[in-house]
Chains A and B, each alone.
Chain A
Amino acid sequence: MRWFFLVLALAIVTFVVALGPRGAKFSDPPFELFPDMDRQYKFKSQKPSHFFEDGRASRKPVDGTIPMGYSAPLNKEDGVPTSALDFSYGEGYYNTGLFGDYFGSGYPEELTLDQALLERGKQRFQINCTPCHGESGNGQGIVSKYWLIPPTANLQSDLVKALPEGQLFWTITHGKGLMGPYKGTINVQDRWAIVAYLRALQKTSATTAAN
């Protein structure tokens, strides 16, 4: 009896020591008690697939189809469908910021310039641009201090103030010089919202930029 309890206690201790307490850090994939349908063979976002040759589970839309959530183009010439979540690389001023080979100025007619757009632009600007260009766009954002090659462009400078809207849009889309492209992370409408907010920011002085 005494021996039994001694052995039992020892077994429990080794068990607990081997497994560790709750919340301890470990790096092997978690143990699944009943793995019945936990991992199904289906396509998931950002996951590889063994089915397609290129190994991607995400497929490009088939020619001539429109993904769900997108609206049909108004006329055939417009080409690519537009929607609020559009990242399209389509034609036209709205999608490129260009008229022919030149940067356009002013805003595309697809856009309604209102308070909501500016609010959106402010939020997106603070997420995507302030790290480098600073809250007021003066080029003194926190990350700019770590860059090997200064300076980060001052968006309050007369140079940038003079740039047409289309060029600002194009810069966000494709980047410029050291600045990387944001076409993969900011959708078309938000890019225009940022341009609109940036214009508002340039009008007000740097200190009252918040409104």
Chain B
Amino acid sequence: MGNLFPRWTNLLPVKILVCLGALGTAVVALAWYSWTPKFTRVGYMPQQPIPFDHSVHAGQLGLDCRYCHTFVENSPHSNIPAAQVCWNCHGPGKVKSDSVKLEPLRQAMDTNSENYTGKPIPWVQVHETPDYAYFNHSVHVNRGVSCVECHGRVDEMPVVYHAKTLSMSFCLDCHRNVDEHLRPLDEVTNLAWEAKDEDANEFYAKIAGKGGKAEELKEADADKTWDEKLLGAHLQKSWNVNPPTDCAACHR
């Protein structure tokens, strides 16, 4: 009887283990990298029926977000503007009214156009939370959370894309450290806002309320750095902001 296991088989089990280990590590690493919203969602940039450009309208022309997303302060849902809103500027005799890019708008609005359908423009939704999670724009926007925190610098985007993950950990990261993310209410739609734009005296006057504590507050902060965190902490205190972290707040 010959040698059933030749000499080279001595190392075989080790080799198989090493190979399996390497394969397993590779699969885990790839899944780690690509099975999260950071990968599956960020960068989602669907083709829109009209190549609508936020960097022109919100950036260059300086239109306020609320000119179009009118109900973001009043409603859980931030609306996409009706075609009438575009028509106010792009109607006949107005801005670029003959542009080919605006053909879907004319189909929706221009009763004289031969292609008139009267149907709404079929915009493609970019950001969409799963239906088992509850999200509300107005609570956030009325508490000094800016659009930029969740949507990125939309006013610099020629085409809107998904800039943040909007995953559960993203929501909770802010809910747990909310002071870094708050700003004065009139700056919510100013995506470029920074703490150094804020005038110290006005700011303290705003948060001090009736008691006239502005001077005291200012003195107490004299040697602190004037940054978003400091301002946010003041705002959090003066508005008594306390975002929920219990499951039932978002999964209701």
Contact = CB atoms under 8 A, between A and B. Distances in A.
B142 interface: no
Interface string A119-138: 00001001110010000000
B114 to A, nearest CB: 22
B30 A37 contact: no
Interface string B24-60: 0010001001110111111111110000000000000
A147 B95 contact: yes
Nearest to A35: B130
B88 interface: yes
A142 B46 CA distance: 30
A182 B44 CA distance: 33
A37 B186 CA distance: 37
Contact of A147 (B45, B67, B75, B94): B94
B33 to A, nearest CB: 7
B19 A1 contact: yes
Contacts of A38: 130-132
Interface in A1-60: 1, 4-5, 8, 11-12, 15-16, 19, 22-27, 29-33, 37-40, 42, 44-46
B84 interface: yes
A210 interface: no
A109 to B, nearest CB: 25
A74 interface: no
Given A24-B43, A126-B64, A4 B19 contact: yes
A14 to B, nearest CB: 11
A4 B17 CA distance: 12
A143 B40 contact: no
A18 B64 CA distance: 39
Contacts of B34: 19, 22
B206 interface: no
B30 A148 contact: no
Contacts of A31: 40
A8 B61 contact: no
B87 interface: yes
Given A23-B42, A25-B45, A147-B95, A185 B85 contact: yes
B228 to A, nearest CB: 23
A46 B79 contact: yes
Contact of B132 (A25, A29, A37, A142): A37
Given A12-B26, A178-B94, A181-B84, A22 B47 contact: no
Given A8-B26, A33-B35, A178-B93, A131 B46 contact: no
A64 interface: no
A19 B29 CA distance: 14
A97 B186 CA distance: 30
Contacts of B130: 32, 37-39
9 cross-chain pairs, A with B, having the tightest CB-CB distances, nearest first: A180-B88, A45-B77, A38-B130, A40-B131, A127-B64, A185-B70, A149-B93, A30-B41, A25-B45
Interface of A: 1, 4-5, 8, 11-12, 15-16, 19, 22-27, 29-33, 37-40, 42, 44-46, 85, 123, 126-128, 131, 142-143, 146-149, 175, 178-182, 184-186
Given A180-B91, A184-B84, 9 more contacts: A1-B19, A4-B19, A22-B43, A30-B37, A33-B40, A44-B77, A142-B61, A146-B96, A184-B82
Interface of B: 15, 18-19, 22-23, 26, 30, 33-35, 37-47, 61-64, 66-67, 70, 74-77, 79-82, 84-85, 87-89, 91, 93-97, 130-132, 161-162, 186
